[in-house]
Amino acid sequence: MRRLWIADVHANLPAFEAVLRDAGTVDEIVFLGDIVGYGPHPSACIDLLKQLQPKAVLGNHDASVLAIGRRAARYSRPVDWDAWTHDQLNDSQLSYLAVLPAELEIVSGGVQVKAMHQPSGAPYLHPAMPDHVLAGHLQAVSCAVIFCGHSHRRIDRTVAGRRFVCIPPVGQPRNRDPRAGYAVESDGRLEFGFVSYDIERVVVDVQGIGLEKEFCQRWIKFLRTGFDTEWSREYEHDGV
């Protein structure tokens, strides 16, 4: 069994396509949420995901777009990115998101795995979190192995006898490495992968959305560098 784990595409089609090429042939794909949100290709990314027929869960950005609940017949300039995203999607695409579950159970290497976008109530989890802090955020999850996305960081830790894996993001890296991330599991062994993609194609399409100028430039820099002053903050131990 060769399984591809992906998360956090964030409507970035070139990154998504690059990951699929780089990962090669697999028997199964598991998607851990956020196919849309803060990216220029929501419709195309949902269509590609549907075509792949993965096991998939709903992400928080997917839920935010669904929560708009109506088509925006028109919107002001600068546009609200979630409203713009919702307006790009047809009824079939919205319906696909609407039926995605919050979590799945998958067998990996003979062990039951809980797959979700993020543990309920947890913040952005970070590789530098002490074991007891990370364990505290996972205590409500009833499984010995947990796979998630959301934190946009590569994590593979065993804490308090439980394994926690965070799959690095496809479409919105935050750790100063702008490459698209993923993981491939072969007979229970997990290997992370990172691949370059056509960032400038994404930049051109972001510029065409109609975002506020300063925010647009900030996002373009984020794409090119994998770093943003807000979203790339390192973990602060603050005494815990």
Q: For position 85, which CATH number holds?
A: 3.60.21.10
Q: Return the higher-pLDDT residue of 77 and 42.
A: 42
Domain-located, residue 147: no
- Cβ-proximal residues to 130 (8 Å cutoff; 6+ apart), any chain: 237, 240
| Token digits of residue 222 | 């984020």
The span from the CA of 47 to the CA of 232, in Å, is 29
What's the pTM value of the predicted model, to 2 decimals? 0.94
SS3 category, 22: helix
Q: Please tell me the total count of domains within the chain.
A: 1
Domain-located, residue 203: yes
pLDDT (tens digit per residue) in 82-96: 999 999 999 999 999
Domain-located, residue 59: yes
Interstrand relation of 103-108 and 145-148 (parallel, antiparallel or unpaired): unpaired
Domain region containing 219? 2-101+167-225
Interstrand relation of 103-108 and 111-116 (parallel, antiparallel or unpaired): antiparallel
DSSP string, 70-119: S--S---SSPPHHHHHHHH--HHHHHHHHT--SEEEEEETTEEEEEESS-
pLDDT at 22: 98
Domain-located, residue 159: no
pLDDT (tens digit per residue) in 115-147: 999 999 888 999 999 999 999 999 889 899 999
Domain-located, residue 108: no
Domain-located, residue 120: no
pLDDT (tens digit per residue) in 153-181: 999 999 989 999 999 999 999 999 999 99
pLDDT band at 44 (very low <50, low <70, confident <90, very high): very high
Domain-located, residue 29: yes
Query: Are the CB atoms for 11 and 36 separated by under 8 Å?
Result: yes
Domain-located, residue 52: yes
